[in-house]
Copies of this chain bind each other. A is one copy, B any other.
Amino acid sequence: MGKIKAAIIGSTGYTGAQLAALLYNHREVEIKYLTSKTYLNQKYSDIYQNFNSISDIICTEDELEEISKNVDVIFLALPHGIASKKVTKEVLYNSKVIDLGADFRLKDKETYEKWYNVEHFSPELLNEAVYGLPEIYGDKIKNAALIANPGCYTTCSILSIYPLVKNNLIDTNSIIIDAKSGVTGAGRGVNLGVHYCETNENIKAYKISSHRHTPEIEQELSFALNKKITLQFTPHLVPMNRGILTTSYAKLNENVTKKDIVDCYFEQYKNKKFVRILKEGIYPETKWTKGTNFIDIGIFTDTRTNNVIISAAIDNLMKGAAGQAVQNMNLMFNLDESEGLMTSGIFPA
């Protein structure tokens, strides 16, 4: 069998560039298309000069139906509201699709339209799309035609507290997720908010109670417990390129012990290669996940307050985006889940 032929649509954002880096290193993949509206007809390695001597591809247009005829898998790395127009039955007939954007993550069209403030153009695909969190939906992913790759904050948040919710260990009215992200999370677009001198040496919260990853986290936790969950999610911008750290809080249900909690995390993530439950007392740090597909999870309880506190770290462009997309691709093409992903990253990076 030949290599998997791949296209990256919207390849010149940070997520697209991370994906290109992973796929060029992946021994079972051949990149056929890198598309870009902004840099149309330019050499990819002139835009991202780290690909000089690695890639010879010229950026082309995102003619999805045409491209789908020539590749095995299409990765979409586009702003929300575009994929729901572009992904057609025909595209899905020709090729598998992994959408790194938001359009197919929320199962409920109204919720999507309320939080994203745009119309959804292909609601008929919402049920077909599989939510691409392999630690939870691994089996479904293997047979999926269309993957909704989870958001960055979302991946870290859901994996952080999924075992607590699923095993009914916490008061789900008390969930608070305080999240911190590096600046790549804001994308490569230019505006005063990402000017070096405005971001460097500064931290701030933003979009308190209104960030779009909120309903996505709520959806998946609600599915876990089979009960509607509403929670508090607060993102912060941290002066570093990469990394997400979430600190999640909840009140423990009566008589739940630290041991109960730890046990259920080990049980939930047994055989999950990319979940690392840290030893007692070790704190997750984003630096140890940088450039890797791992999530590091630290479990803490406070007997004074009866809270459980979960601290978790990922690389937002890896397990939070492109790494997870490749993990999904591996599953869809019957490769080992970790093919091309089992790296320590580099440190200090």
Q: Which residues of A approach B to under 8 Å, CB–CB? A: 14, 17-18, 20-21, 24-25, 48-55, 173-174, 176, 178, 180, 182-184, 188, 190-192, 194-206, 208-209, 230-232, 234, 236, 238-243, 245, 247, 249, 273, 276, 282-292, 294, 296, 298, 300-302, 304-305, 307, 309, 311, 313, 317, 342-349
Asked, given contacts A180-B236, A196-B200, whether A14 binds B348 with beta carbons under 8 Å apart, the answer is yes
Chain B residue, CB-CB nearest to A174? B174
What's the nearest-Cβ distance from chain B to residue A7, in Å?
A: 18
A113 to chain B minimum Cβ distance, whole angstroms, is 17
- Contacting pair A304 B200 (CB below 8 A): no
> Can you list 19 A-B contacts (CB < 8 A)?
A14-B347, A14-B348, A21-B346, A49-B296, A180-B180, A184-B348, A195-B196, A196-B200, A196-B239, A200-B348, A201-B290, A203-B243, A204-B283, A204-B284, A205-B245, A205-B283, A209-B307, A232-B309, A242-B349
- A256 to chain B minimum Cβ distance, whole angstroms, is 16
Query: Which residues from chain B contact A51 at a C-beta distance below 8 Å?
Result: 344
6 additional contacts (CB under 8 A) given A204-B286, A204-B311, A209-B309: A18-B346, A176-B178, A194-B197, A232-B307, A242-B348, A346-B349
Question: Contact at B304–A202, with CB atoms within 8 Å?
Answer: no
Interface centre among A241, A290, A343 (most CB of B within 10 A): A241
Give Cα distance in the complex from A54 to B289, angstroms.
Answer: 12
- Report the nearest B residue to A275, measured CB to CB: B53
Q: Is the CB of A249 within 8 A of B288?
A: no
Instruction: Assess the B201–A300 pair: CB atoms within 8 A.
Output: no
Least distance between A69 CB and chain B CB atoms (Å): 28
- Asked whether, in the complex, the Cβ of B54 is within 8 Å of the Cβ of A344, the reply is yes
Q: How far is the CA of A18 from the CA of B290 in the complex (A)?
A: 14
Rounded to whole angstroms, the CA-CA distance of A240 and B313 in the bound complex is 19
Contacts of A202 in B (CB 8 A): 240, 243, 285-287
Partner of A232, one of B195, B286, B305: B305
Partner of A289, one of B50, B234, B241: B50
| B302 x A208 contact (CB < 8 A) | yes
Question: CB-CB < 8 A to A345: which residues of B?
Answer: 21, 50
With contacts A188-B197, A232-B307 taken as known, whether A52 is within 8 angstroms of B294 at the C-beta atoms is yes
